[in-house]
Structure 1
Amino acid sequence: MEAVFFGFLARELAEFLPGARVEKVFLPVPNVVTLALYLPAGRVVPGCEGRKTVFLHARYGTGRYFLFLSGQKTAQPERAPAAAMRLRKHLRGRRVTRVAADWPHRRLVLSFTGNGPALALDPRSFPALVDAARPELPALTDVSWPSLAAVPAQPDIWQAHPQLSPALRRRLAALPPDQARDRYDRLTAGECDGFFLERKSGEPNALWTVAWPGPPPPSCTVATFPTALEAAAAFGLPLAFGEVSGRAEAPQTAARAASRRRQDRAMLRLAADEARMQAFLARKAEADAIAANLHALDKTAKIAELSLPTADGGQQTLSLDPALTVLANMQKLYHLAAKGERGLAAIAARRRDLQGAKKDLQSRERAPDRVAASPGPSGSLKGVAAHVYRTSDGFLALRGKNAKANDQLLRLASPFDLWFHAADGPGAHVILRRDHPGREVPRQSLAEAAGLAALASYAAGAGTADVWMARVGDVRRVKGAGPGQVTVSRILETLRAAVDPALEKLRELM
């Protein structure tokens, strides 16, 4: 997150956060902190419409920094760590009174009601409780900027002027002088063209407040947002939810990566050993030449070179070990050749083993997620009686086999997963899983998930059926009713789905 963008984001947070009450502080994983904030009556935060409680997510330490407000919280550990409990002790129940930002360093300070400490969010360190009495922090136009000529000439200029990140310096340096001057003047004046999210290969890459001329860099796309809050959320959501949900698989991922590295090193060593054994085996021809002429040689001579006739009438010169006799050299060469022959046989067997292990690892990495091995942000789906499908776009879809399974799927799915059910009648629940709340699902996958719901419903004999689609967080189980009975507070869309038995081909074998 660029410092200049952070400055605009801090101004919007200063507008929307005062009056919000801290409900809880979460530390879902190392390097991520989340504040649950209950908004004052009537307060509407852009991007969090309809939410009374919003979540301020921030990252600290190494990695891409994010800070954003969302209506969704990430998964939390079963037991809050001691550091989270300490922050709760000082902050819970207090209302935000003021937001100040040291924006060049992307540092945010929240002050609260009461006599307790303020909270400093700094990308370089763990959230700190600081003295609430502090000097004013710089506004957007209160920071010194170097001359434009110094920007491309000094790669380390960010050390003296942290608002000039390496990425920003490279962008300015790549522009023609007149365009660079125009963008630089707008930056230094605190002006804003809009809020632009740059994605590289589909992943969040940078946030800008100026529109860069020309096409975006290769493999990059740019999206525009009306507010810094919405742009920051679009940037941070996949990073934050990936940071948290990915932790469950991190040990396995790291183990697979380590296994690949070990296999690659083993194959390199094997290739070196093979070359050495082939060199040993090649010396058998030298031993044969000595043996064929041994009757005419001084067997006890210790010499460094030996000249012998070849079969075509020429001469060949052999290098010998002068510490050994001619006879001992011949014996040593035969010994090395035998060693090379044995070694090559062992290397071939070892290579087959390594190649088999590599193929096994690759097949496991390519294998689609299984229900028993697909931990969701809200819990494990192991043991749930559900059919598993993979849509044409690669999304995982789960359909309950019975009422109990429908209830379990709903309870264990993430709030931002999508729920499908035949409209106005009985049927199975279908859950389409997403990695994070901001992940878009192609229409083809939505249609396929809706069709799977229709196939396991009262409308299975029809040609088409209406299917409701909602966020899992908007679907509630009916208290006291049987398993699978729900109410829906908000339907995103009613899809007209084809009841096509061919969709069952999307089912994965378990």
Structure 2
Amino acid sequence: MEAVFFRSLVRELMEALPGARVEKVFLPVPNVATLTFYLPAGRVIPGCEAKKTVHLHVRYGTGRYFLFLSGQKTAQPERAPSAAMRLRKYLRGRRVRQVVADWPRRRLVLAFTGEGPALALDPRSFPVLIDAPAPEQPTLPEPAWPSLEAAVGDPDIWQAHPQLSPNLRRRLIALPATERSTVYSRLAAGAADGFFLEQKNGEPLALWPVDWPGTLPRTHTVKAFATALEAAAAFGLPLAFGEVSGRRDAPEVAAGVASRRRQARAMDRLAADETRMRAFIARKVDADAIAANLHTLNKTAKIPELSLPTPEGGRQTLRLDPALTILGNMQKLYHLAAKGERGLAAIATRRRDLQGAKKDLQGREHRLQHAAVSPSPSGSLKGVAAHVYRTSDGFLALRGKNAKANDQLLRLASPFDLWFHAADGPGAHVILRRDHPGREVPRQSLLEAAGLAALASCAAGSGAADVWMARVGDVRRVKGAAPGQVTVSRILETVRAAVDPTLESLREPT
């Protein structure tokens, strides 16, 4: 999250959070903290409409920094760690009085009503309790901005002016000179053209208050948002929910990225070494020429260059090391040529090893990508009596084998997973899993999940059937009723699905 975007986000948080009451503090995984707030009457948060309770998710320490408000809470550990309990002790029940920000360093302080400490959120460290600022304390002064020439000319400008990150500096340099000054002036003034989420291959990469037309690689896409709060949520949701709610392979993915970088650097070094070894071998011709004419030369002479006849009857000039004799130069050239031959053999072996390691890494990444498309039925859903299917887009779908399994699926699924059931009749529950609330599901996978629900329903003998689709969070089990009996507060869509027995081929082997 870029500091120049964080500046706009802070302004909206200063309007959104004052008066909100702290309900709980969660620490779902290392490096992620969540504060749950109950909003004042009439308060509406962009992207969290109709929500009285919102969650502030923030990352600290290593990893891509995010801070955003969401109506969704990530999965939580069964027992809160002691650090979370300590924060709850001092913050629970208190209302936000003031939001103070050091936006160039992306630091935020939440001051609360009543006696007690404030909470400091810093991307570099765990949230800490600090002395509360005085109510009359003004906002922090705006930082100085260097000249545009200094900003684009000094690679280390971020050390004195942290709002000018290396990424921002590269984007400014990439702009045409006629546009660069205008964009820089607007950034310094705090103006925003809108709020833009930059993605690489569908994964969140950066947030900007500037659209960067014509400067992005082809693998990058941009989504525009009306508010910084909505843009921050779109950026943070995949990161927070992916890390907390299913992408347990995140450390291995990070290790894979580092390994690819090391391999690329090693291959570059090998290419440079190979060029050097071939240059050594090429000088063997010069050594042969000296050896052929050594009987006519003063072997002990130390000269910078030597003129010798060629087999074609011409002359060639050889550059020598003047610190060595002619004989010493010849011996050195033969020595380097032999070294080059040995070096090429070693380089070939090393290159084969690196290429083998690269193939192994690619194989592991392929398996991870296949598994990360949708969470596997492990953890809380393991052991439920359900058939497991993988849609043609790679999403995981689970269909209960009986009423008890239908009830278990609904109880254990995430609130942002999708629920399917035949309309107006008995049938099995189908849960289509997502790894975060913002995850878009291709239409084909929705049709396949609806078809699986239709196949295990009263409409199984029909050619097509209507199937309800809803968020799991909008489906409620009926208290005291038989297992599998539910009420649905909001149906997203009634899907007209084909009752196609070939969909059973999507079932994963057990």
Q: TM-score range by the shorter chain?
A: 0.7 to 0.9
Rounded to whole Å, the distance in 2 between the matches of 1:7 and 1:508 is 48
The equivalences for 1:325-404 within 5 A come to 365=367, 374=376, 379-404=379-404
Alpha-carbon displacement from aligned partner over 1:283-340 (angstroms, at most 9, x marks no partner): xxxxxxxxxxxxxxxxxxxxxxxxxxxxxxxxxxxxxxxxxxxxxxxxxxxxxxxxxx
Residue 324 of structure 1: aligned partner: none
Please report how far the alpha carbon of residue 374 of structure 1 lies from its aligned counterpart in structure 2 after TM superposition.
2.8
Letter in 2 for 1:70: S
Cα RMSD over matched residues? 2.8
Residue 282 of structure 2: aligned partner: none
Rounded to whole Å, the distance in 1 between the matches of 2:109 and 2:254 is 39
Residue 56 of structure 1: aligned partner: 56
Rounded to whole Å, the distance in 2 between the matches of 1:50 and 1:439 is 21
Q: Is the 8 A contact 1:103 1:138 kept in 2?
A: no
What SS does structure 2 have at the residue aligned with 1:182?
helix
Please report how far the alpha carbon of residue 256 of structure 1 lies from its aligned counterpart in structure 2 after TM superposition.
10
Q: Is the 8 A contact 2:256 2:365 kept in 1?
A: no
Residue 95 of structure 2: aligned partner: 95
Q: Is the 8 A contact 1:248 1:375 kept in 2?
A: no
What SS does structure 1 have at the residue aligned with 2:148?
coil
Please report how far the alpha carbon of residue 105 of structure 1 lies from its aligned counterpart in structure 2 after TM superposition.
0.8
Please report how far the alpha carbon of residue 450 of structure 1 lies from its aligned counterpart in structure 2 after TM superposition.
0.8
Tell me: CA distance 1:241–1:20, structure 2 relative to 1, closer, same or farther (3 Å).
same
| Alignment gaps of 5+ in structure 1 | 265-350
Q: Is the 8 A contact 1:195 1:224 kept in 2?
A: yes
Rounded to whole Å, the distance in 2 between the matches of 1:149 and 1:383 is 63
Asked whether 1:154 is paired with 2:150, we answer no
Residue 42 of structure 2: aligned partner: 42
Residue 454 of structure 2: aligned partner: 454
Please report how far the alpha carbon of residue 491 of structure 1 lies from its aligned counterpart in structure 2 after TM superposition.
1.0
Q: 1:136 aligns with which of 125, 138, 146?
A: 138
What SS does structure 1 have at the residue aligned with 2:469?
strand
Deviates further, 484-493 or 227-236: 484-493
What SS does structure 1 have at the residue aligned with 2:454?
helix
Q: Percent identity?
A: 76
The equivalences for 1:226-241 within 5 A come to 226-241=226-241
Tell me: CA distance 1:255–1:42, structure 2 relative to 1, closer, same or farther (3 Å).
closer
Letter in 1 for 2:367: E
Q: Is the 8 A contact 2:428 2:456 kept in 1?
A: yes
Alpha-carbon displacement from aligned partner over 1:264-286 (angstroms, at most 9, x marks no partner): 9xxxxxxxxxxxxxxxxxxxxxx
Residue 509 of structure 1: aligned partner: 509
Alpha-carbon displacement from aligned partner over 1:459-485 (angstroms, at most 9, x marks no partner): 111111111111111111111011111
| Alignment gaps of 5+ in structure 2 | 264-352
Alpha-carbon displacement from aligned partner over 1:113-163 (angstroms, at most 9, x marks no partner): 111111111101111111112543336xx2210100012211111110010
Residue 481 of structure 2: aligned partner: 481
The equivalences for 1:207-286 within 5 A come to 207-214=207-214, 216-246=216-246, 248-249=248-249, 253=252
Q: Is the 8 A contact 1:387 1:507 kept in 2?
A: yes
Residue 320 of structure 1: aligned partner: none
Rounded to whole Å, the distance in 2 between the matches of 1:153 and 1:14 is 35
Residue 328 of structure 1: aligned partner: none
Alpha-carbon displacement from aligned partner over 1:180-217 (angstroms, at most 9, x marks no partner): 11110110111110000000111100101012132632
Please report how far the alpha carbon of residue 248 of structure 1 lies from its aligned counterpart in structure 2 after TM superposition.
4.5
Deviates further, 35-44 or 25-34: 35-44
Give the TM-score taking structure 2 as reference length.
0.76
Letter in 2 for 1:240: A
Letter in 1 for 2:423: A
Rounded to whole Å, the distance in 2 between the matches of 1:368 and 1:107 is 37
What SS does structure 2 have at the residue aligned with 1:444?
helix
Residue 19 of structure 1: aligned partner: 19
Letter in 2 for 1:7: R
Tell me: CA distance 1:246–1:476, structure 2 relative to 1, closer, same or farther (3 Å).
closer
Give the TM-score taking structure 1 as reference length.
0.76
Rounded to whole Å, the distance in 1 between the matches of 2:493 and 2:104 is 43
Deviates further, 156-165 or 457-466: 457-466
Letter in 1 for 2:438: G
Residue 297 of structure 1: aligned partner: none
Rounded to whole Å, the distance in 1 between the matches of 2:408 and 2:370 is 22
Rounded to whole Å, the distance in 2 between the matches of 1:180 and 1:368 is 42
What SS does structure 2 have at the residue aligned with 1:76?
coil
Tell me: CA distance 1:118–1:32, structure 2 relative to 1, closer, same or farther (3 Å).
same
Letter in 2 for 1:76: Q
Letter in 2 for 1:23: E
Rounded to whole Å, the distance in 2 between the matches of 1:465 and 1:414 is 26
Q: Is the 8 A contact 1:416 1:473 kept in 2?
A: yes
Q: Is the 8 A contact 2:376 2:396 kept in 1?
A: no
Tell me: CA distance 1:181–1:368, structure 2 relative to 1, closer, same or farther (3 Å).
closer
What SS does structure 2 have at the residue aligned with 1:198?
strand
Residue 268 of structure 2: aligned partner: none
Q: Is the 8 A contact 1:69 1:233 kept in 2?
A: yes
The equivalences for 1:312-331 within 5 A come to none
Letter in 2 for 1:20: A
Letter in 2 for 1:172: L
Residue 163 of structure 1: aligned partner: 163
Tell me: CA distance 1:157–1:367, structure 2 relative to 1, closer, same or farther (3 Å).
closer
Letter in 2 for 1:499: V
Residue 121 of structure 1: aligned partner: 121
Please report how far the alpha carbon of residue 508 of structure 1 lies from its aligned counterpart in structure 2 after TM superposition.
1.1
Rounded to whole Å, the distance in 1 between the matches of 2:22 and 2:206 is 29
Q: Is the 8 A contact 1:389 1:396 kept in 2?
A: yes
Residue 179 of structure 1: aligned partner: 179
What SS does structure 2 have at the residue aligned with 1:197?
strand
Rounded to whole Å, the distance in 2 between the matches of 1:58 and 1:255 is 20
Q: Is the 8 A contact 1:374 1:380 kept in 2?
A: no
The equivalences for 1:73-92 within 5 A come to 73-92=73-92
